[in-house]
Amino acid sequence: MGVVYSSSIGLEKLLLRAFAEDWTVTGKENVPKKGRLIVVPNHVSNADPSMVATALPRSIKFLAKDSLFRHPISRWFFNSYGAYPLKRASIDVGAYRWALKILAAEQALVLFPEGKRGVNGMGPGLPGVTRLALSMDAHLLPVGITGTGHLGPFYRVFYPTGRIAVTIGKPFKLPAPDGPPDKETVARLTEQIMRSIAELLPQSYRGIYADPIAEDD
């Protein structure tokens, strides 16, 4: 764990205690201490990566949108924080190879499977997380985040108000298919990943994965 990463985690904890009306983390005991791990949270705010890093008792790496790396200072910070730039406009082979390298080194990687913020609830999961988990035989760790939607811009990590909760689910592995997974298999397993996240959230956060019959938690 580098100095920038550990210092940022310590600072964010102080800021959450100072400004948040309430800040809770549940399920820390579910985080594997070692081994290949893909952390899969829901995504409602630019502050979510910081909330995940602060909640997990393990150093983690990120893929972050490449626009955050344009300025030399921000590029230095995010590189030091453990992030790698992701080009979202097209398939980013370099980012995928970086992710493979991180997992091959038995480290933990955070990927937001929706690929973008779901301000009105969870959107469909993208197949890249599923393919990566299968190819690297990595555990998946679902995480549910609530209370960050109003934070908006990234700089609000320095003023995290409201009632913020991070719920960490139990790790699991996807069942290995017989042979290369086809499109239907990947879609079914991606659905499994997204449902594991949705189960950690109130109905109002679940979006397309909400139970249409159940009332909000």
For residue range 76-120, what is the model confidence (pLDDT) as tens digits?
998 888 899 888 766 778 899 999 999 999 999 999 999 888 888
Average the pLDDT over each of 25-39, 75-89, 163-177 and give the range with the smallest value: 75-89
Q: How far apart are the first and last CA of the chain?
A: 37
For residue 215, is it within any domain? Answer: no
CA distance 198 to 10: 29
- What is the structure's pLDDT at 89? 65
For residue 76, is it within any domain? Answer: yes
The CATH number that applies at residue 18 is 3.40.1130.10
Q: What percent of the chain has pLDDT over 70?
A: 96
pTM exceeding the 0.85 threshold for the entire prediction? yes
Order of strands, sheet of 162-168, starting from the edge strand that comes earlier in the sequence: 20-26, 162-168, 139-146, 37-41, 108-110, 60-65, 83-86
At residue 9, does pLDDT exceed 90? yes
pLDDT, the chain, mean: 92
Mean pLDDT of 37-56: 95
Backbone angles phi, psi at 176, to 5 degrees: -70, 125
> Which residue(s) pair with 65 in the sheet?
86
- What is the structure's pLDDT at 92? 79
For residue 188, is it within any domain? Answer: yes
Residue 182 belongs to domain spanning? 3-209
Q: State how many domains the chain has.
A: 1
